[in-house]
Amino acid sequence: SQQGEEDPQALSIQEGENATMNCSYKTSINNLQWYRQNSGRGLVHLILIRSNEREKHSGRLRVTLDTSKKSSSLLITASRAADTASYFCATDRTNDYKLSFGAGTTVTVRA
């Protein structure tokens, strides 16, 4: 069963705008990760946030984690056409490195 659920399922924004997507999960986690998948390609790891962290940055990416609400958000600032992709959150529940993935958010950045 899926541990994480992303919201919204799809998002369309103008180039230069910010994109925000959310992930909710059901059980306690050790860490939460975000991945990007371009059409027809494999998933690429973006960022990992541990359960004792609340916010993390990587370039134009900002991830927050609220363990009390069992939720995370991914913010992409100043979006570009190359950011068009599907984004997945994945949770590591038991520190055994088996990730559970959500169904993803499809982001389209319009030029």
Of 18-26, 56-64, 69-77, 102-110, the segment contacting other proteins by CB under 8 A is: 102-110
- What binding mask, one character per residue, do residues 73-92 give for other proteins by CB under 8 A, x or -? ---------------x----
> Quick one: 51 or 100, whose CB is closer to other proteins?
100
Which residue, 17, 29, 25, 31, is CA-closest to 75?
17
Shortest Cβ distance from residue 17 to other proteins (Å)?
26
User: DSSP for 40-97?
Assistant: TS-EEEEEEEETT--EEEETTEEEEEETTTTEEEEEE-S--GGG-EEEEEEEESSSSS
Using CB under 8 A as the binding rule, whether residue 101 contacts other proteins is answered as: yes
- What binding mask, one character per residue, do residues 16-45 give for other proteins by CB under 8 A, x or -? -----------------x-x----xxxxxx
> Quick one: 49 or 109, whose CB is closer to other proteins?
49
Residue 104 Rama label (left phi>0; alpha psi -120 to 50; beta): left
Which residue, 102, 101, 108, is CA-closest to 76?
108
Token pair listed for 43:
């998933």
Q: Which residues bind other proteins (CB under 8 A)?
A: 1-2, 33, 35, 40-45, 48, 88, 97-104
